Structure 1
Amino acid sequence: MRVLIPYIKRYKWDAIWATVSIVFQVFATLWQPRMLQTVMEAIMKQDKATVFNYGIGLILLAVVGIIAGIINTVYSARLALHVATDLRADLYDHIQSFAYADIEDFSASNLVVRMTNDVNQVQQVVMAAFQQVTRIPLVFAGALALALTTMPEQWWVIAVMMVIIVGVGLVTFKTMSKYFAQTQQDIEDVNTLARENLMGIRVVKSFVQEQAQITGFAKTSDRLRDVTAKIGELFAVLMPAFFLTANIAVVVSVYIVGQNVTAHPTYLAAISSFTSYLMQILFAVINASFMMTFASRAFISMGRIREVLDHKPSMHFTTAGPATVPGDITFEHVTFTYPGDKQPTLQDVSFTAPAGSMIGIVGATGSGKTTLAQLIARLFDPDSGRVLIGGVDVRELPEATIRNAVAYVLQRATLFSGTIAQNLLQVQPAATPATMARAAEIAQAAEFIERLPETYDAPVEERSANFSGGQKQRLAITRGVIADPEILILDDATSALDARSEKLVQEALDRELTRTTTVVIAEKIASIIRADQILVMDGGRLVATGTHKQLVQSSAIYQEIYATQKAKEGGVANV
């Protein structure tokens, strides 16, 4: 509950009104049977005035109860909605502070479930709490006290009923709690499978894996169904058991009254009030049971939410430091191991790249090329050694400085739903149409953007499904260059472009971004053949550096890569 207390305090007046109104509603609920008892006694005495007066009183009491119920529902709903909205926003904000490793640790689908399903569970329990938490003890205590004062001789009927109901409830809800925890996990698994399938639908279709996907999804979905069915079966037994116990208590009470009606004729009027209080006690226990159910699920959800909110980002940024840095890059004996791995991905890597130069990185798959680039952008921190930008250790630079200085364009272009202009403005909020046009010309994206009726206001659909692979890559490069970064990292970012477009992009980068240090990770030698310095990676180590001509002469690994590509392509453009 400590997660919710600060949020409830923000809306204390909603909480106060919800609580005060429930007190009036409970009073109206409890006092109606007592007034009905008085009416019944007046009827037996043929006292028409008392019947009329108390009849009017019953109507007024009902109106008070209805108004109080409406007020309680409105303010409980407002409070629950505000708490859920703020909690979801704070979760999202906190996740934005996570390092890349933190996101990987939780997984994207896991975090989505926590921001949606878990927060919804909390919203439901907050509303139920302010509708029932105050009501339940007041109704229970009031009904119990009034029942005992109405027919004190039948206290034992109430006691036996309570023992049976509470015993059945405790046993049942203890079993349910473990099923609720499993339900949350199964929902998360179903969401993960659905997300992976829909995002990878092209692969599924290409390899005719529809049936395998259906089988895997059905297995997980069936597990969720089975757990939910077990919860439903427990409820199916629980509710009849409660009502059976209460009805037996009513029958026993009526029988006892019938046996003693001659000695106590007033019991005829009291029995209706007594049975009403019995049922109110029952409903209080039932509502408490439901609250236990909601609470058990919500406590699991709150624990999962608290786990995210309490998680400290694995990477911290200083607030002091230069606002800008030049684009020279230095690695000093850098070693890095991914969390959970035993073997380092990078080992003792050292090199220097002057500002404004072009750096190419080549090597076999898994040699550490992308990892090296991620350390430049400080998506991870090295285990040992230092990564410097402009002569300053990246760990001593503010986050804004790094993000303004380094632009990272991935092979798999990720564009956000909205418009082309909105995607570009994410990087450069002050960008003008002329700035966008210049960036698009550099990335060779202008030719297809200007053919669109809306040009830069053209929509970008979810996962940019309305653009081809090459168009997405060119838009991603446009976004990367629009702010004139000090360092531009192209992680195989031209792989979907044809040779002509790739050449035009490289020429435009050389011509327009003269002071930008360009780091190009490429599988093709042709993409980095004109680089000022080429880094050859193998097994996480930097095994050779130099220009293309130098490496062709001195590096066996580079020679092998070059020879293989030359044989496949019939030669690599202009050595």
Structure 2
Amino acid sequence: MIKKLMQSIRDYKRPAIETPVFVGIEVLFECALPFVMAQLINHMTGESMDPIVKYGSILLVMAMLSLLFGVLAARKAATAGAGFAKNLRHDIFYAIQDFSFADVDRFSSSSLVTRLTTDVTNVQNAFQMMIRIAVRTPLMMVFSLAMSFSINPRMALLFFCVMPVIAIALIWMIRTAMPIFRRIFKKYDALNNSVQENIAGIRVVKSFVREEYEREKFYRASDEVRKDFTHVERILALNSPVMSFCMSASMLLISFFGAKTIVNSHGTSLNTGDLSALISYGVQLLMSIMMLSMVFVMLTMAQESARRITEVLNYENTLHSPENPVMEVADGSVDFNHVSFKYNEKSKRNALTDIDLHIESGETVGIIGGTGSSKSSLVQLIPRLYDVTEGSVEVGGIDVRNYDVDTLRDAVAVVLQKNVLFSGTIKDNMRWGNKNATDEEIVEACKLAQADEFVSKFPDGYDTYIEQGGTNVSGGQKQRLCIARALLKNPKVLILDDSTSAVDTKTDALIRQAFMDKIPNTTKIIIAQRISSVQDADQILVMDGGRVVEQGNHESLIAKNGIYREIYDSQTKGKEEE
């Protein structure tokens, strides 16, 4: 886990190495200060200022040098920590870009956001502590003990009296806190999920006047995090009083036995300056232990964050290109060979069952069916957004698993149910389909999708800025822009997953007619709720319960008097009544 995370240091290795070096020099000067102070006290005779000037000057220089290297260490640690966090976020984000839909479903989008933000911040703080505080404290402890033993070994042994108490307290706190931190991060995921869901559906929330319900839902999720944090903070709060008690006990022991030694030996075994130095070293030693305990607390919290991050970094994408992939899609023919599919291997129920289907290149295929009939699941297997559980899907006569993934997806354009436009101009959004598309090609694609009509009326035309999520265009306009973007790929297979649902029937008909006239060689698969959107298709599939229950053209399906006829009658009857 550590090795994996350390790969993200990369171009920040130098400040990461310089920091502990500067810390070591800082500690060296800091630990020498009590010794020089002891010499100053021991040489104060009241007869001359020379010892005070001499040792005072040395103290001043050493203090300034300690400060200088401390500042340098802090600056380098900040640079290394910020750079490490930046690289780590990039590595996680790049890893997520390779995830399939199934991989994202496995982690959940809210959990991935938490790992990119909160978890990275926790690991960044721990990293900065590791290269600075975690280096400083052991060095300070070693040097302080060494100097204490050089002054008076017997007195130095008193420091070890409180060590068992500190060790027991630290072990107990870490072992108790770790499971709680693991639980907290899972609840953070749930909290973030609640926020994302609310923001994404804020219009629905307001239209149904559900603000109070959402507030209570968020409060409950937030309160769950608060309860666990309160619990763990109560445990960790014991750290400071335990350390303070141990420090006070050590100072009392050293002061008592030190004073007793001075009195009994008349200053021969121990003098006032040495006792002062011992007390200073005792403070340094115990402060180091206190800082070390804080490091352990931070590492305890960061350990769970590090585990969650490396889980993403080490995750093997379930969808990847084979060793010797096919780099060209011959045509737009599509075959489903006894395909069954489930979203989760542990699920007992198939989303699709035994789909056997052939679509000729250039055909127009309509898919219709009720909600939950797995229409979207079917078409998502074509560009290999998911892998089949059983059987195979072929495009251009070759199993989709044998293609280079990018090559396959370049040949298959999908306009999904949830249309997404990104912040930027209309041209910027269009070039997602083809980054090298000319202005003329963009206009032509928009004309095919019946989008040029409204885009040309905007004051800035194709340079009109689209807000994040496309909030400044209507649902129908957004759908047409997304269709135009897909057309710019010049795909061999074009899939419209209920992508004209917000478009009026006249515009819908114009789009379909443009497809027939302008892209006759492209295979067109249209999922729709309206019969009028698919009735001119070469073949129509009727789906129910993850199966193709009816198949044929409009006339043959009407003649069967099945589900298709029922849908047709219900829609045409409604129109007649109007």
Distance 1:328 1:571 in 2: 41
**Structure-1 residue corresponding to 2:333:** 328
**Structure-1 residue corresponding to 2:147:** 146
* Alignment TM-score, normalising by the size of structure 1: 0.95
**Structure-2 residue corresponding to 1:306:** 310
The alignment-based identity, stated in percent, is 33
Measured against aligned partners, the alpha-carbon deviations of 1:179-222 in whole angstroms (never above 9, x if no partner) come to 32222222222111111111111222232222222222111211
CA contact (8 A) 1:534 1:547 kept: yes
CA contact (8 A) 1:407 1:481 kept: yes
**Structure-2 residue corresponding to 1:421:** 427
Shift of 1:5: 2.8
CA 1:70–1:465 in structure 2 vs 1: closer, same or farther (change >3 Å)? same
In the alignment, structure 1 residue 291 sits paired with structure 2 residue 295: yes
Distance 1:164 1:349 in 2: 68
Shift of 1:47: 5.0
Shift of 1:103: 0.7
Distance 2:562 2:445 in 1: 38
Report how many residues are paired: 572
Measured against aligned partners, the alpha-carbon deviations of 1:139-172 in whole angstroms (never above 9, x if no partner) come to 0111112123323332343122222233323323
Shift of 1:126: 0.9
**Structure-2 residue corresponding to 1:176:** 177
Equivalent of 2:279 in 272, 275, 279: 275
SS of 2:4's equivalent in the other structure is coil
Distance 2:283 2:79 in 1: 30
CA contact (8 A) 1:3 1:302 kept: no
Write out aligned runs for 1:10-29 (5 A): 10-29=11-30
Distance 1:463 1:413 in 2: 9
* Alignment TM-score, normalising by the size of structure 2: 0.95
State the Cα RMSD in Å.
Answer: 1.9
Distance 2:510 2:266 in 1: 104
Flag structure 2 segments of 5+ consecutive residues without an equivalent.
none
Measured against aligned partners, the alpha-carbon deviations of 1:250-296 in whole angstroms (never above 9, x if no partner) come to 13322333334333335211222111111111111111111111111
**Structure-2 residue corresponding to 1:474:** 480
Distance 1:383 1:163 in 2: 58
**Structure-2 residue corresponding to 1:371:** 377
Residue 374 of structure 1 aligns to which amino acid in structure 2?
Q
Measured against aligned partners, the alpha-carbon deviations of 1:515-536 in whole angstroms (never above 9, x if no partner) come to 1111001111110111111112
SS of 1:305's equivalent in the other structure is helix
Distance 1:545 1:72 in 2: 72
**Structure-2 residue corresponding to 1:454:** 460
Distance 2:382 2:122 in 1: 41
**Structure-2 residue corresponding to 1:210:** 211
CA 1:186–1:541 in structure 2 vs 1: closer, same or farther (change >3 Å)? closer
**Structure-1 residue corresponding to 2:240:** 239
**Structure-2 residue corresponding to 1:343:** 349
CA contact (8 A) 1:334 1:383 kept: yes
Distance 2:160 2:546 in 1: 74
Residue 201 of structure 1 aligns to which amino acid in structure 2?
I
Distance 1:4 1:539 in 2: 45
**Structure-1 residue corresponding to 2:71:** 70
SS of 1:453's equivalent in the other structure is coil
CA contact (8 A) 2:492 2:521 kept: yes
Distance 1:150 1:407 in 2: 79
Measured against aligned partners, the alpha-carbon deviations of 1:491-546 in whole angstroms (never above 9, x if no partner) come to 11000011121112112222221211110011111101111111122222222222
Distance 2:577 2:483 in 1: 27
Residue 160 of structure 1 aligns to which amino acid in structure 2?
C
Equivalent of 2:411 in 391, 395, 405: 405
Shift of 1:45: 6.4
Shift of 1:555: 5.0
In the alignment, structure 1 residue 190 sits paired with structure 2 residue 195: no
Distance 1:470 1:40 in 2: 86
Shift of 1:440: 1.0
Distance 2:261 2:378 in 1: 91
Distance 2:140 2:546 in 1: 69
Residue 92 of structure 1 aligns to which amino acid in structure 2?
F
CA contact (8 A) 2:449 2:480 kept: yes
CA 1:478–1:46 in structure 2 vs 1: closer, same or farther (change >3 Å)? farther
CA contact (8 A) 1:325 1:405 kept: no
**Structure-1 residue corresponding to 2:490:** 484
**Structure-1 residue corresponding to 2:220:** 219
Shift of 1:436: 0.9
SS of 1:7's equivalent in the other structure is coil
Distance 1:108 1:46 in 2: 76
Shift of 1:100: 1.0
> Which one is further off, 262-271 or 495-504?
262-271
